[in-house]
Amino acid sequence: MRRRLVTILAIIGAILFTAGTAFPCSVGRILTGVDIPTQMVSSATLILRVTAVEYATPFFADNGSRTRASSTKIRFKVEEVIKGTYSAKDLVLSGYLNSTDDWNDRSVPYDLVRPAGRHGDCFASTYRMGAQFLLALQKNSNSRPAPFSSDTEYTTDWYALGPVNEQLRSETDPWLVWVREQVARKK
C-alpha cells in the first residue's frame, strides 16, 4: 500500500513539474511577484505608438475562407517611437481588424493583456481600425525582410498574457504616460 502511494505521488509530482511546458501560457509570473509591466518595458526591443490603418494582406483566402491571424497582416501608421530606433513610417504585423474597442480593464500599470488576449493563444490579435495602440515589440526569432514597407519583422507575440499591444484612449492615456516614464528612467 505504501509503495502504491509513493508511486502515485511521484506521478502527480511529475505531472505538476512538467505543467509549465504543457501549458506555456500561464500567469505564474504574477504569482511569483515579478513586476510584469516594468520587466516587459525593459525587455522590449522597440515600443511604438501606432494607428491601425488597413489590411496589408487579404482577410479572406482565394477560396473565400477566413485566413489565420498569423497569415493576415495589418498595416499600422507609426505615430511615435518611444523606445528603440525605427525610421519607417509604417509597420506591418499579424492580426485582424475589427470595429470594437478593447481597452484594458485593469489599473495602470497593466499586469495583464487586454480582454481579447485572455483566451485562446494568450495574445490579443484584434485591432480596431483607426484606433491607436501602444506596441511593445521584439524582433521575430525568424526575422526576414518583410514583403511590405517595414524593413524588419517585429512581433507582439513574445510576452504571453502581457500588455504588449494595448489600445489607447488618447495621446495622454495613463498607460502611454506610464510607459514613457519607464523608458525615460532607463535612459
DSSP code of 117? Answer: G
Single out the residue of 137, 108, 125 nearest to residue 46, CA to CA: 137
Please, what are the domains in the chain?
26-186 (2.40.50)
Residue 28 binned pLDDT confidence (cut-offs 50, 70, 90): very low
Alpha-carbon gap, residue 98 to 115, rounded angstroms: 14
Beta strands in 10-113 (DSSP E): 46-55, 73-83, 90-94, 96-98
> pLDDT tens digits, residue range 29-85?
444 456 889 999 999 999 999 999 999 876 665 555 554 445 688 999 999 999 999
Alpha-carbon gap, residue 158 to 176, rounded angstroms: 20
Alpha-carbon gap, residue 133 to 125, rounded angstroms: 12
What global pTM score does this model have?
0.76
Residue 9 binned pLDDT confidence (cut-offs 50, 70, 90): low
At residue 16, does pLDDT exceed 90? no
The whole-number pLDDT of residue 121 equals 78
> pLDDT tens digits, residue range 92-112?
998 999 999 999 999 999 999
Q: Which residues contact 46 (CB under 8 A, 6 or more apart)?
A: 81, 83, 84, 85, 86, 135, 136, 137, 138, 154
Q: Which residues contact 3 (CB under 8 A, 6 or more apart)?
A: none
Helices (H), the chain: 2-22, 28-31, 36-43, 174-186
